[in-house]
Amino acid sequence: MNLQGHEAAPIPARRRPTAARAYLLNQATVDDYRRTVTAGVDRVAGRVAGVDRPFTGVTPDRLAPAIGRIDLDRPLHDPAAALDELDSVYLRDAVWFHHPRYLAHLNCPVVIPALLGEAVLSAVNSSLDTWDQSAGGTLIERRLIDWTADRIGLGPTADGVFTSGGTQSNLQALLMAREEACATQPLPRADLLPKLRILASEAGHFSVQKSAKLLGLGRDSVVTVETDADRRMRPEALAREIERCQRAGLVVMAVVATAGTTDFGTIDPLPAIAEQCRAAGVWLHVDAAYGCGLLVSRTRRHLLDGIEQADSVTVDYHKSFFQPVSSSAVLVRDRRMLRHVTYHADYLNPARMVEQRIPNQVDKSLQTTRRFDALKLWLTLRIMGADALGELFDEVVDRAADAWALLSTDPRFEVVTRSQLSTVVFRYLPAERHLADDANLHAREALAASGAAVVAGTKVDGRHFLKFTLLNPETTIDDIAHVLDLVAAHAGRYVRARTAAEMALPVPAEVSVAEPCHVG
């Protein structure tokens, strides 16, 4: 009987599965699901176990033809064959972030509890936009937002939502800042928008400029603020820019401070910046996409002092919490600010649901359909705990300090400011100074082509530098010293070849490598 006292209609017999329907995950296919996914996990595990270098050095010209020859309209109908093919066009030449000599970008090795979460969330396939698509997933994400806001110290009215990454988080924060400025300024919106300005460190992330463009602000809307020798925003320079904008009749809609610049790993003086923003009535956004790992550090949490005064904060768990991409969030001190991204659709989240206290995460997000990425962090905290994550992050910060000390005493290299986090910016410095830029560019490309190590490159004051981004606790100082020797060898060969060419002399058949780094 059903709830109304009537007999329930009989469930019709299932149709015999067709070949296509046999691929759907349901009660009838769980054994195939288990076998197929296990085969994939075994294939990846085998590759991870056998990796002897972070990269094969494959070039696009070599790999593209193999992928181009695959006929996507002729399926293989065999998971094993598909995995063999995938191995040849992807896994064999993948860039492996777990290798201790991958030292390039903000890509972290991932923890196993998060991979367990990835497997679960992909199979269940919850969409975190509305309650009736996610139920417990909604509450788990909200609990993690509360946990993060508490770690930051944003207070009891804080809220937020998971995002695809730091770029989206920064965009949403600046969208809310723009809308709040429009709501509080007396000028008509059309007159106000050209006058809006965002003040950001000259060492800040490019997503601030990208966000301004997406928000319909002018080319000159982002004003860069001078940094000191350690690449931290100068509070006195910020004060001058705020005052200059006010005198010019411009409206500073937000100041973006950075807690962990991408290149230098430096943290802006947050307390001083927060004080100026409060005095000027300006929205303070802190981009802590990189530095958020300090939230779980038992020894370095004080480096984020002042972040609790922000109006909004970006965090990227997939950088310094050792989570798979993507796992990020934007948080606000005052949950009412999230109204600036709320839209009600009758088919999805009608306004009456708010009255019924039904929690819909789409009310807070720029996205509609959204993965349950929060589950990865949830299982990580429930299995290994926040202190263990903080210990891993502290290790890579310690390793960067060791690398800086090694470089600062090595006459072959010039090293820039000491990072507060886990980056080291440096360059090979030959006696022939005019060849330094080209030598460092060559060394990076030659190193990547060899596959022995991967390092990043950047520019400092118009000159080419190399960069270590250390996010792997398995990387040792011996690994770093070895990579420095490889860099010096590649750069030295290039300089000798160029010098010989410039002097119209024959290039020596044998060239000796530079003196090695000594550790001890």
- What is the reported pLDDT for 15? 54
- In a domain, residue 467? The reply is yes
**Torsion angle of C-alpha atoms 446, 450, 452, 453, degrees rounded to 10:** 40
The pLDDT tens digits for 433-492 are 999 999 999 999 999 999 999 999 999 999 999 999 999 999 999 999 999 999 999 999
Which residue, of 337, 367, 383, is where some domain finishes? 383
Place 7 in a pLDDT band, splitting at 50, 70 and 90. low
Judge if 360 and 239 occupy the same domain.
yes
| pLDDT at residue 477, rounded to an integer | 98
The answer to whether position 494 is within a domain reads yes
Handedness of CA 241, 246, 249, 252 (dihedral sign): positive
Query: Is residue 442 in some structural domain?
Result: yes
Question: Does residue 480 form part of some domain?
Answer: yes
Distance CA 501, CA 498 (A): 5
Residue 440, in any domain of the structure: yes
Residues 88-101 pLDDT 10s: 999 999 999 999 99
What is the domain extent for residue 364?
116-383
Quick check: is 50 in a domain? no
**Residue 514: pLDDT over 60:** no
Q: What is the pLDDT of residues 86-135, one digit of tens each?
A: 999 999 999 999 999 999 999 999 999 999 999 999 999 999 999 999 99
What's the pLDDT score for residue 508? 58
Instruction: Tell whether 392 and 477 lie within a shared domain.
Output: yes
**Residue 482: CATH number of its domain:** 3.90.1150.10
Same domain for 261 and 291, yes or no, is: yes
224 and 330 in a single domain? The answer is yes
Whether residue 77 is contained in a domain is answered as: no
Residues 461 and 335 in one domain: no
pLDDT tens-digit readout, 28-41: 999 999 999 999 99
On whether the CB atoms of residues 475 and 454 are closer than 8 A, the answer is: no
pLDDT of residue 515: 43
Q: What number of other Cβ atoms are within 10 A of residue 485's Cβ?
A: 16
Per cent of the chain over pLDDT 70 is: 94
User: Which is nearest to 92 in space by CA: 41, 37, 51?
Assistant: 51
Q: Confidence class of residue 509 from pLDDT cuts 50, 70 and 90? A: low
Domain count, the chain: 2
pTM: 0.92
Q: Please give the pLDDT value at position 512.
A: 42
The 413-415 sheet, strands edge to edge: 102-103, 454-460, 463-469, 423-428, 413-415
Domain boundary residue, one of 351, 368, 383? 383
Q: What is the pLDDT of residues 257-293, one digit of tens each?
A: 999 999 999 999 999 999 999 999 999 999 999 999 9
Q: What is the pLDDT of residue 5?
A: 53
* Phi, psi values for residue 463, rounded to 5°: -110, 150
Q: What are phi and psi of 455, to 5 degrees?
A: -125, 160
Does residue 497 belong to any structural domain of this protein?
A: yes
Question: Is the model's pLDDT at 17 over the cut of 80?
Answer: no
Give the pLDDT of residue 422.
98
Tell me, yes or no, whether 373 and 488 share the same domain.
no
